[in-house]
Amino acid sequence: MGSKPDLIWLDGLLGSGIRPGLDRMRAILSKLKNPHRAHPSIIVAGTNGKGSTSATLASILRHSGYRTGLYTSPHLVDIRERWMIDGEPIGENVFADSIEVLKKASGAAVITPTYFEALTLIAFIAFERASCDIAVLEVGMGGRLDATNVIRPIAALITPIGIDHTEFLGNTLVKIAGEKAGVIHRGAIALTSNHDPKILSVIRRRAALVGSELHEVPSRARGPIPLLGDFQRDNMALAARAAELLIPRLPQITPESIELGIANTRWRGRLERFLIAGKEVWVDGCHNTHAARVVAPFIAANLPRPRLLVFGIMGDKDFGEVASHLVPHFDRVIATEPYPPRSASAASLVSVSAGLGVPAIALPAPREALQAALASDEQAVFVGGSLYLAGAAIEFLDEQRAR
């Protein structure tokens, strides 16, 4: 076809909201002749670290000689980042063709998918058309009823679980863990890096129910890693252990390809460092309490004083709790709004920061906030609180770096 992607149709699904359930996916996949069964798949669930773990495992598989599809969310700059084949975003023509195929199948099924369902279906279509040997799929939210969970994975990985999306997943760690553990299916190798006894008991129960052996992966250092932050060691250990356990199924994986895959993992917007005009700028999504808590020690140990925080976060997050972990490490805050109207207001973030004893100003437009940060007197700048803000910062800072 070679046409431009029908983003009007795709964007028109944005208002569809979140509608957990797999019936719509299965009906449309049936019309598509089930492209998700064209190759084996691996699924990665959890609250934090899903993307890093998925990217690491995909890199290992690619360096083992397998044509690898990687589906993650959200994108930071370009929507095609969500679908990677052998480390590169899918091409414009593949994207356009996949949307057209999906539109026809949705019409034939007389079903309008949600936005995330459509993105997931595009992954299945694009990866089949690219003749992928294997796909790694990051769960969007939860697991049991997430659109990605129509597959029957050969491995199911569960990264650290925290409180998030309580309106859909439940308001306790046990309930949330139950939803995440729903990605473990009969025949899948199951792995987790969780260590909380309550969470582990839920995951163990699900694995036992479907007859899958659960591998509890301890924290371990593997020497130098390409992604900064001690918490990334756990994510990389989880991906590496999954690769080791998959060798009987995927015999091209070797200890050497595991090390090479880890060393070559790239995952933007996670403690990403920029040096611009003599200033050190760090960008990290850290979009919930758990993420802010684990990134805070890195800030304290590695960013020189005085420090400036550019802070923006979604309104449905517990931004007071996130701020309590981040803001005290800074000398000043610029509050912004990365995705209005769903963002917390900059004014409310100024109030929260002031309550924590750190002066703050409101610059709602992210580019204005970032320009002010580059022009500031502070030696180090940290941009965080939302992956939408991380995406805006990367786009802006890449432009500055290219000048």
Any idea what the CATH number is for the domain that residue 311 is in?
A: 3.90.190.20
Note down the domain range covering 328: 272-402
Query: Would you place residue 402 in the very low, low, confident or very high pLDDT band (cuts 50, 70, 90)?
Result: confident
> Is 394 or 164 the better-scoring residue by pLDDT?
394
Span 10-28, pLDDT tens digits: 999 988 778 888 999 999 9
pLDDT, one tens digit per residue, over 174-201 is 999 999 999 999 999 999 999 999 999 9
pLDDT at 228: 81
Across the beta sheet with 380-384, the strand order is 272-276, 279-284, 380-384, 307-311, 332-335, 360-362
Tally of structural domains, the chain? 2
pLDDT of residue 18: 82
Q: Which whole number is the average pLDDT over 46-73?
A: 96
| Residue 276 shares a structural domain with residue 383 | yes
Are residues 11 and 151 both part of a single domain? yes
- CB atoms under 10 Å from CB of 61, counted, come to 31
**pLDDT bucket at 1, cuts 50 / 70 / 90:** very low
Residue that finishes a domain, picked among 263, 284, 314: 263
Is the residue at 196 inside a domain? Answer: yes
Model pLDDT, residue 403: 79
Residue 312 lies in a domain: yes
Cα 283–chain centre separation: 15
| Residue 222 in this model has a pLDDT that exceeds 70 | no
Question: Would residue 228 count as lying in a domain?
Answer: yes
Q: Are residues 234 and 293 in the same domain?
A: no
1 occurs within a structural domain:
no
d(CA 357, CA 329): 11
Q: Are 218 and 327 within one domain?
A: no
Residue where a domain terminates, one of 263, 298, 321: 263
Write the CA distances from 116 to 64, 73, 136, 159, 230, integer angstroms. Answer: 30, 9, 16, 21, 31
Percent over 90 (pLDDT), the chain: 83
Whether 243 and 294 map to the same domain: the answer is no
Whole-angstrom distance, CA of residue 41 vs CA of residue 392: 31
Instruction: State the average pLDDT for the chain.
Output: 94
Residues 247 and 298 in one domain: no
Burial class of residue 304 in the structure, from the number of CB atoms within 10 Å of its CB (0-12 exposed, 13-18 middle, 19+ buried): exposed
User: pTM for this structure?
Assistant: 0.92
Q: Is the pLDDT of residue 242 over 80?
A: yes
Residue 166 has pLDDT above 80, yes or no: no
Per-residue pLDDT reduced to its tens digit, 247-282: 999 999 999 999 999 999 999 999 999 999 889 999
Residue 166 included in any domain: yes
- Which of the two residues, 277 and 86, has the higher pLDDT score? 86
Indicate whether 180 and 47 sit together in one domain: yes
Specify whether the CB–CB gap between 351 and 311 falls below 8 A. Answer: no
Asked, for residue 15, whether it belongs to a domain, the answer is yes
One domain, residues 249 and 301: no
Residue 133 gets which letter from DSSP? Answer: S
Domain co-membership, 280 together with 190: no
| Residue that terminates a domain, selected from 210, 243, 263 | 263
